[in-house]
Amino acid sequence: MKIKQLILGVIVAGISFLATGQSFNNFPVATQKPPLHGKHWMAITGKPLAATAGAMIFTKGGNAIDASCAMLAATCTMWDVLSWGGETQALIYNPKTKKVIAINALGVAPTGATADFFKGKGMNYPPEFGPLAAVTPGTPGGLMTMLAEYGTMSLKEVLAPAMQLASGYPIEAQTANAIERGKDRIKEWPYSKKVFLPHLGEKREAPDAGEIFVQKDLLTTLQKLVDTEQQALKKGKSRKDAIYAAYDRFYKGDIAKEIARGTQEQGGLITEQDLANWKVKIEEPTMTTYRGIDVYKLQQWTQGPAMLQTLNILENFDLKSMGYNSTKYIHTVYQAMNLAFADRDFYYGDPAFGTPAPMNGLLSKEYARERMKLISPEKNDPKIGPGDPYPFEGKKNPHLNILQKWGNSQSAIQRNTLHPDQKFLEEFTAGTTSVEATDEEGWVVSITPSGGWVPACIAGNTGVGLSQRMQSFVLDANENPFNVVEPGKRPRVTLTPSMALKDGKPFLSFAKQAGDEQDQLLLQFFLNMVEFNMTVQEACEAPSFKTLQMFSSFGAHEKSAGGLILNDQMPPWTRKELSRMGYHLNYQERTSGPINAIFFDWQHGSFWGGSSNHGEDYGIGW
């Protein structure tokens, strides 16, 4: 009966996706996908098979936490630009407490990872790939913590879809071709070569699209976690304690031992003690209000508060009267984002280290009104820099000497390129995935996991691909005194799930992939709905624009002052006006996402799901 229910749910969802999408307003946005509708639950993520994994859990009686953990496990197993050794960041709405919870499952820099260590190797930043690019794995701990604390099902039940995938699934073209493109680097790491290149020595060494891709080592690792949980349950342990027994085996047992051994064998730094010392953090999120709507983000170890800062600035403008994607609108939003992201580049970092960042000042409405005065209505300001929020907390800036010369150093000048090349654009918009889920009990989950993308270095015989997040650190305090690499410290990441409440109830849950552009497009998605009355699907697909006038969090940490990416359908008069205002224009065919989102329709007691027409993101609702 359960299998029949699942099949029926998938068929109904498929019919919904094939139907013509209807707008409940008159905004003239044609969508290539219709909105997804649901009454009981909704599961949206970066891969169709992973969305099905979430649906499987829902049809077995799981809640949104259970389903989101199943989708997370599936996307990691499918290498949806992440793997099991990456990091997980989440916001959860708890209907019992009516509160939003923040999950910090980002790994930390290992023992020996100091600025001097990397400088001694002739590096300006930690590397982009390989074992030295790895922070400690965070996703397994994040998944097990969310499941233990807020889920209802066993780890065995939730990991079942991912374990079926690990035993062999038909690999999709996107991942298979990424492996083929990255095969030269993959061959540098013996354990990666064994997993990713089943046709070694042939013309195409990666799997073909549709070929059954098998990951025996990963399946063994997941089986160890399930076995540990089941043994604990047989001994009378509670569901929660049994899941944490599996957690301990990953971070303190034989799995941790092999991760450390395999990483060090290939030149990495992660130790058994690094893994044992790492902990998931359950935190308070950051929040601001925009026209009566409460918008939530993670703390400043992500870039999330930059979106909140931008909203504070934009609240002082009549955006609706400017018109969607008019020259004035693009210019105003671009300038507001630049002000917020300049602050991100200077002040954001792990709050557990050093002097606390001035987040109360940065997120104050008064500071936003002061910053908005810097916006010229006539032209772009390519030299905009971070402000000084400390006076808005009644304090003196301890980094004033760095702030006054920030952006004028030779290093910063060299990293400012007027004509970004393809590598810069690829790094700036590098993808990950997102997971959105909700249920009729009221649980809401928004996750932006990442790390361990192809080409990934696999840690020994575990099947676990290591994170590449170390590159988001800086080595020089003159760039960002809050984000200099130290052992045990979390890098400031781009990963940024989002949630909004209205009248004390869930209003939107939304997230997207793609590096430094995440909060830019999430901001515009939010404004599309709040200011321009789009449906969630219209808002997901509507053409956005992107500023390149911030230092990238990847590679050489470059920026392009005045760099602006527009949709290639932008009319010629808007292009001409923006060029005259000092913008350096680039174009992309699709600029909408990929965004995944859920809108809560309290008037009708239902959910609306949205998923951009940009990538493989997919949803199922019931």
Tell me: the pLDDT tens digits for 518-541? 999 999 999 999 999 999 999 999
**If you write DSSP's letter for every residue of 240-302 in order, what string do you get?**
HHHHHHHHHHHHHSHHHHHHHHHHHHTT----HHHHHH---EEEPPEEEEETTEEEEE--TTB
548 vs 151, which has greater pLDDT?
151
Q: Which domains does the chain have, with CATH numbers?
A: 286-432+496-603 (1.10.246.130)
The pLDDT confidence band at residue 26, using thresholds 50, 70 and 90, is: very low
Q: Tell me the one-letter amino acid at 153.
A: M
The phi, psi pair for 402, rounded to 5°, reads -75, -40
Strand partners, 510: 498, 597
Q: What is the mean pLDDT of the chain?
A: 91
Residues belonging to the chain: 622
Other C-beta atoms lying within 10 Å of the C-beta of residue 273? 13
The pLDDT confidence band at residue 25, using thresholds 50, 70 and 90, is: very low
* pLDDT > 90 fraction of the chain, expressed in percent and rounded: 82
> What's this model's pTM, rounded to 2 decimal places?
0.93
The pLDDT value given to residue 431 = 67
Whether residue 11 has pLDDT greater than 60: no
Q: What is the pLDDT of residues 368-415, one digit of tens each?
A: 999 999 999 999 999 999 999 999 999 999 999 999 988 766 556 556
Distance set, CA 613 to CA 20, 33, 113, 208, 368 (Å): 14, 7, 40, 24, 34
3-class secondary structure, 74: helix
The pLDDT confidence band at residue 87, using thresholds 50, 70 and 90, is: very high
Other C-beta atoms lying within 10 Å of the C-beta of residue 575? 16
For residues 361 and 528, give the distance between their C-alpha atoms in angstroms, rounded to a whole number: 27
The pLDDT value given to residue 616 = 83
